[in-house]
A and B are shown apart, each in its own frame.
Chain A
């Protein structure tokens, strides 16, 4: 296994954007925050864009409100000249801001009031992913930070993050939406005349399915959006390109579980296809033991022996003879030994999972973070994670 040198990555001034991807529940947000903090304390000016942090983690970073603006995180060691800012993404607000920036006030209001826009900006599957990319583009454009760490939205599939802009872009800009919106633009059904009979039947069916009102809302929305942006897809494409730019690196985050590693493998393949640079895999919550010499078998055999001793002591009536321990103590030690055996089984399984991944993807560099007994919700906790990321 090639060990991923996280410190080399975050110390390199050429690293400008780090995107943390992975399926839901693997610790993306915590990883992004820990990386940001470590990079800042090693001297970089960092902004961390988080999507949906745990409340206490957010509070510890000073993120008390969703205001879409980076806030400076206090209690960060800035002696090496670095700093840490953090922000939470407000998806609707980001979309609104794009509209407000690009349209005159009257037209902007027209778009913002459109029911289709409201629904799209708050609930379209993929809007969150796209807006995360938009925000990344904006942060990058300010030039204020020399490292941007991005957390990606929670979804079952890590691929959603890459697919969203194209999905959003292509449906707002696709051939069909142009045909549908044509009548609104020319003020009548004139444009439809040129369509084949089949196409006419189709738009008819569609309007029946989605309802005439909705279709009209869509038409006016697209017309307004189109004159504002001159094509949404172009914008989506430009944002997407940022992810292929020099200085951008992806970190795939996973837990040593079958599903999470399968998602990670899909993502690694996809990055390859898209020619996007993969920095490596961060494997979170890896179990370890310092008592590996005591095997699971011996541990269990001893536990069994102790339980038997406890039983016979109890049958003999209460206090054991000589130096032997109380039955309850024997049971307690038996419990601990069983727990140890259990832990070894978990370690064993995790290692099998990791080996499977690394044999299929030997080129991927891996950094491991040990499983912590508790949740991380303060800077000290993030430092601990950062430390194990850095030093392994």
Chain B
């Protein structure tokens, strides 16, 4: 494989205006509250195929929704501590923790839901178990119960998220919105519908009641299930299938977030897309820019242009499929430096500009 990485080890590439161009090329800025696409939604469920950046998008959405003095809760359910890693903060406990301040004075809290703790909490709520609850834990019963009853784990996870979305303090909601970093698309409908299944399996008792109540929230307009995708074949296909599945299961499909989108080469002059890059044209351009136009350089750069063009073409095919879903679509740029906290704020801003928050 040809690579000349060693040549550039000492270099520190500067800032490009490439991604910035995309950030501002989206629809006109919308900064006022009450104008967003998901006004009235209290629980935002963010899913997507593995590797598409669910956690990042969920975090950016929580930040975006919090801006302008609001308060949001970002919830993690898979026990991977992805939020802590993203925000560069210590391991999150099973307790709401403030992790970031949003532009305009908002606050983002985070919660890593632990199924065992959630079960103990419920047991205590329903039976006032107190010390017996601790005994249960000692005997491994909690571990047992969260693993054994099919989906009980998911019931507790969804239940806790719904509870956070509905919690009130001093007569008003504790959070303006709750954003859940949910399991991947392949499992999302089953995950959210687990309460229906459990309500059928456990026909009586508090779990049954709880499951019914959770389903009430999840199927209502207070919930929106957003899917994150990349403009590649498999993630797009999975998104299309996922939306179908959500609709069939009666779950409220929200928006589609296209993540890591690449800008076309002619981003600054879309009207001129007809023109082709020829070796002569490139040579003249390099000379004009003060770069010696060697033959290998020209052919390598042309190869990079071709590769980019075929990717852009694939992306537009994918984009067309996503747009065909008849759901609001948002687009986030690829950050060449990788994901960091600064990048997260930029993504949040992009979501706000596009009206997702």
Contact = CB atoms under 8 A, between A and B. Distances in A.
Interface string A339-350: 111111111110
Nearest to A260: B51
Nearest to B2: A290
A291 interface: yes
A212 to B, nearest CB: 7
A201 B132 contact: yes
Contacts of B13: 295-297, 300, 341, 344-345, 348
| Residue from the set A54, A208, A209, A388 with the largest chain B CB neighbour count within 10 Å | A209
Contact of A23 (B51, B232, B299): B51
B16 A336 contact: no
A347 B291 contact: no
B258 to A, nearest CB: 15
Interface string B49-76: 1111000000000000000000000000
Contact of B132 (A23, A205, A375): A205
Interface stretch (B31-39, B141-149, B160-168): B141-149
A245 interface: no
Interface string A319-358: 0000111001111111111111111111111010000000
B153 A125 contact: yes
Given A292-B3, A329-B284, A302 B291 contact: yes
B290 A208 contact: no
Contacts of B29: none
Interface in B110-143: 119, 122-123, 126-127, 129, 132, 135-136, 139-141
Interface in B82-103: 82, 85
Interface stretch (A37-45, A75-83, A101-109, A169-177): A169-177
Interface in A141-175: 154-157, 167, 171, 174-175
B203 A213 contact: yes
A332 B265 contact: yes
Contacts of A296: 8, 11, 13-14
A291 B301 contact: yes
Contacts of A187: none
A268 interface: no
Contacts of A293: 4, 7, 297
A305 to B, nearest CB: 5
Interface residues of B, number: 97
B324 interface: no
Contacts of B123: 205, 209
Contact of B151 (A55, A123, A297): A123
Nearest to A353: B338
Contacts of A125: 153-154
A201 to B, nearest CB: 6
Interface in B1-55: 1-5, 7-8, 11, 13-14, 16-18, 49-52
A26 B149 contact: no
B266 A292 contact: no
Interface stretch (A114-122, A225-233, A234-242): A114-122
A257 B338 CA distance: 8
B171 interface: no
A154 B188 CA distance: 13
A292 B8 contact: yes
A129 interface: no
A305 B288 CA distance: 8
A177 B147 CA distance: 11
A74 interface: no
A23 B50 contact: yes
Contacts of B184: 24, 154, 156
Given A205-B136, A217-B201, A336-B301, A328 B233 contact: no
Given A24-B50, A328-B269, A213 B201 contact: yes
8 contacts: A119-B197, A176-B139, A205-B132, A210-B145, A210-B207, A290-B2, A297-B13, A373-B310
Given A119-B150, A260-B51, A334-B285, 13 more contacts: A157-B80, A199-B139, A258-B338, A290-B296, A328-B275, A336-B301, A342-B18, A342-B336, A344-B11, A345-B13, A346-B336, A373-B308, A375-B234
Interface of A: 23-26, 52, 54-56, 115-116, 119-120, 123-125, 154-157, 167, 171, 174-177, 198-199, 201-202, 205-206, 208-214, 217-218, 255, 257-260, 262, 286, 288-303, 305-306, 309, 323-325, 328-349, 351, 368, 370, 373-375, 377, 388, 392
Kindly list the 10 A-B residue pairs having the minimum CB-CB distance in the complex, ordered from nearest: A24-B50, A25-B51, A333-B285, A292-B4, A302-B289, A211-B202, A296-B13, A291-B300, A375-B233, A25-B50
Interface of B: 1-5, 7-8, 11, 13-14, 16-18, 49-52, 78, 80, 82, 85, 119, 122-123, 126-127, 129, 132, 135-136, 139-141, 144-145, 147-154, 183-184, 186, 190, 194, 197, 201-208, 232-235, 237, 265-269, 272, 275, 277, 281-282, 284-286, 288-291, 296-297, 299-301, 303-308, 310-311, 314, 336-339
